Amino acid sequence: MDISSFVTSLLTSFVIFVVLVLVFTWLSRRPGNAPVYYPSVLLRGLDPWEGRGRGTRSPVGWIRQAFTASEADVVAAGGVDAAVYLVFLSSVLAILVVSGIVLLPLLLPLAATDHALENSAGFKNGKEAQNFTIIERLALGNVQKKSMRLWAFILSVYWVSFVTYLVLWKSYKHVSNLRAAARSTSDVKPEEFAVLVRDVPIPPPDQTIKDSVDSYFRVLHPDTFYKAMVVTDNKEADKIFQEIEGHKHKIAHAEAVYAESKKGNKPEGTKPTHRTGLLGLIGKKVDTMEYCNGEIKELLPKLEAEQKSTLHDKQQRAAIVFFNSRAAAASASQTLHAQLFDKWTVTEAPEPRDMIWSNLPKKIYERHTRQTVVYFIVFLTVFFYTIPITAVSAVTTLEKLREKLPFLKVVVDQQSEGIPSQSHVVRAASGKYFYFIIFNVFLGFTISSSLFSALKTIVDNPPGIIVMLGNSLPGSATFFLSFVALKFFVGYGLELSRLVPLIIFHLKKKYLCKTEDEVRAAWSPGDLGYNTRVPSDMLIVTIVLCYSVIAPLIIPFGVAYFALGWLIAKNQVLRVYVPSYESNGRMWPHIHTRVIAALMIYQATMIGVIILKLFFYSAILFPLIPISLIFAYTCHTRFYPAFAKTPLEVASQELKETPNMGAIYSAYIPLCLKPEKLEDVDVFEDAQSRTTSRAPSF
């Protein structure tokens, strides 16, 4: 890529960005678009135009708002998970800014005043020597072999590494405190009173699973056991429930259509009709409201019967067990219960809305086997994806990759591992994406020209990859510079302007939606989508770190990416996205580990690059790898336990009010098993235990 096409691409994407920001500024001020640009605000029952006079009317109002919002505001709007994602963005930003302050003034002059490129070209053609771009001149490539200037580059690697350690350490501490604060609030959260029990052994023939769960936990926790809810196979009940919901939805829609028709020239209105056959196209024509009401009347007793039989006969070998104090639940979730590992596995309960009900009864061996299989498939995908990539040229590759992502999505997003909660699924998927992206985009592009020989080198001599990376990375600097720029200008522009949701919303509202609920569904914003967002940011972290010393010019681009990213993400968290669960920052250890992985790729690459400069002192870089490992280990031992488990200190905080155990319990009842009126809970709990045992302890 020569300098003019680089500048062209940069300018084009900048123009697109400016246009999109202007579009956003204009569109977001129209009240009719509020559900697209302020859904989170609306859902929290606030007025999006509040304080509009002061700032939101100005084009940069949203920027000021994003800056002034405190972390507490972010937690209130998007939960701890969103706050943790912003901490990630600001941490990387801090790493890049502090690194850049030293690296740019130090390395750019050293590179610019050397002559390696001219010399190497000079042998061939004196004239061509002028053709090197400014980017190439300002990079490590222009420093001569064995030059003492390389000392500055070695020290820079150390500087970047230690800045990263420091920032990561502080961030981990900060997130740890965020999590502790969120967990030790005095609000009653159902999941803090419950544990998830899996691998319940098959009970003796005269006992139901519910009986055996009840008696087991009553014996082991005589003072604190409250109730147990056995997981059931709800497929049938759910089917009937969804059918009823569908009919209810149709009635509401038909009523709205009917009401509208009255407004027209026919005051008595036209009752909507539909056909009962295939797709509503053939069969008998019926009055929709009447027909659906009849169907519901028919289905309700069926549902009730199915609920009863589900609770009685479809008990699965998993349960949610409730305790009458948070400390008891926290302690129980961390205590080994059975002598054998494959019986009575007890873990923390996920939030009710986070739970994947159908995954719970999967048995421990099945879970392990599935996990192994999934990781094997991911491994194959990650490795053999590189082969088709090499067949096409570089930029096409990225496009192809994006095209093929849906297939990849099937592989990495599937929930077949028996993971009990969505937040966990997201973490697992995010990890797989990370490896995929790093291997295929970064390594794949860098060494694509000679991938097969590269594979051979890796198999023959694993450390050889370092030298290979060192060899090929410097050449791709310009490409990655424009890649980062494209990413943030176009990507963030689209993100901020929300053009696609805007168009869909207006189309749906105009032609499809009749009832309030339908309109609400049309603008429902969804959540931040950490599973694809984090790995894609991680790729930029890896790229920018790896080039930070090779071509320090990339640092300003990285800074722009994460500064803009932080700003826009904060705006979207405050105004747009609605969290679909709260894991209290459980994502952070995952992010932390991957930033360290990126740092280590960087360190290994730099060893290769400096070795290729035939610089004797490059060995000075070797200790960085073990230092990174020790840092990762130290952080893990120090902070991780409080993420994996609930510390008793936290669980023993006083509660604001006496917990309503009935409400806690019914929060976990799946919709399709919920009786029509909540007061009937006690009547319905057939698979659930009724009595609270308070036998004295010995």
Rg (CA), the chain: 30
Long-range contact pairs involving 389-397 (C-beta distance under 8 Å, separation at least 24): 389/440, 389/444, 389/445, 389/448, 389/451, 390/444, 390/448, 390/449, 390/451, 390/452, 394/445, 394/448, 394/479, 397/444, 397/445, 397/448
Q: Which of residues 341-400 bind its own copies (CB under 8 A)?
A: 341-342, 368
Closer by beta carbon to its own copies, 282 or else 340: 340
Please identify which residue in 10, 97, 220, 455 interacts with its own copies, judged by CB under 8 A: 220
Joined together, the tokens standing for residue 232 give: 């059931």
Closer by beta carbon to its own copies, 344 or else 488: 344
**Per-residue interface string for the shown chain with its own copies, residues 500-519, x marking contact by CB under 8 A:** --------------------
Closer by beta carbon to its own copies, 130 or else 637: 637
Query: Coil, strand, or helix at residue 323?
Result: strand
Please identify which residue in 10, 180, 504, 612 interacts with its own copies, judged by CB under 8 A: 180
Please identify which residue in 104, 108, 299, 327 interacts with its own copies, judged by CB under 8 A: 327
Closest separation between CB of residue 217 and its own copies, Å?
10
Number of CB atoms found within 10 A of residue 452's CB? 10
Closer by beta carbon to its own copies, 511 or else 698: 698
Closer by beta carbon to its own copies, 45 or else 696: 696
By the rule CB under 8 A, 176 interacts with its own copies: yes
Angle between helices 554-575 and 477-486 (to 10 degrees): 20
Closest separation between CB of residue 83 and its own copies, Å?
18
Closer by beta carbon to its own copies, 278 or else 340: 340
Stretch that binds its own copies, among 66-74, 217-225, 401-409, 411-419 (CB under 8 A): 217-225
Residues with Cβ < 8 Å from 425, sequence gap 6 or more? 356, 413, 415, 419, 531
Residues with Cβ < 8 Å from 628, sequence gap 6 or more? 161, 596, 599, 600, 603
Closer by beta carbon to its own copies, 128 or else 223: 223
Closer by beta carbon to its own copies, 221 or else 274: 221
Closer by beta carbon to its own copies, 342 or else 680: 342
Q: Which of residues 591-650 bind its own copies (CB under 8 A)?
A: 637-642, 645-650
| 437: enclosing H helix or E strand | helix 422-437
Closest separation between CB of residue 639 and its own copies, Å?
7
Q: What is the rounded distance in angstroms from the CA atom of residue 20 to the CA atom of residue 496?
A: 8
By the rule CB under 8 A, 123 interacts with its own copies: no
Q: What is the rounded distance in angstroms from the CA atom of residue 581 to the CA atom of residue 369?
A: 28
Left if phi > 0, otherwise alpha if psi is -120 to 50, otherwise beta: which for 283? Answer: left
Joined together, the tokens standing for residue 396 give: 């096409």
**Per-residue interface string for the shown chain with its own copies, residues 230-269, x marking contact by CB under 8 A:** ----------------------------------------
Under 8 Å between Cβ of 348 and 647: no
Q: What is the edge-to-edge ordering of all strands in the sheet holding 315-323?
A: 225-232, 315-323, 194-198, 345-348
Which residues, in sequence order, are bridge partners of residue 319? 197, 230
Closest separation between CB of residue 339 and its own copies, Å?
5
Closer by beta carbon to its own copies, 206 or else 657: 657
What Å distances lie between residue 568 and 258, 490, 494, CA to CA? 43, 13, 11
Can you say how many angstroms the Cα of residue 387 is from the centroid of all Cα atoms in its chain?
28
Stretch that binds its own copies, among 203-211, 220-228, 489-497, 682-690 (CB under 8 A): 220-228
**Per-residue interface string for the shown chain with its own copies, residues 29-58, x marking contact by CB under 8 A:** ------------------------------
Closer by beta carbon to its own copies, 171 or else 448: 171
Closest separation between CB of residue 345 and its own copies, Å?
10
Count of residues interacting with its own copies (CB under 8 A): 39
Long-range contact pairs involving 212-217 (C-beta distance under 8 Å, separation at least 24): 213/319, 213/321, 213/689, 214/689, 216/344, 217/321
By the rule CB under 8 A, 219 interacts with its own copies: yes
Closest separation between CB of residue 328 and its own copies, Å?
8
Q: Which of residues 331-350 bind its own copies (CB under 8 A)?
A: 331-332, 334-342
By the rule CB under 8 A, 72 interacts with its own copies: no
Q: What is the DSSP string of 604-640?
A: HHHHHHHHHTT-GGGGGGTTHHHHHHHHHHHHHHHHT
- Under the rule (CB under 8 A), what is the footprint of its own copies? 176, 180, 219-220, 223-224, 325, 327, 330-332, 334-342, 368, 637-642, 645-650, 652, 654-655, 658, 697-698
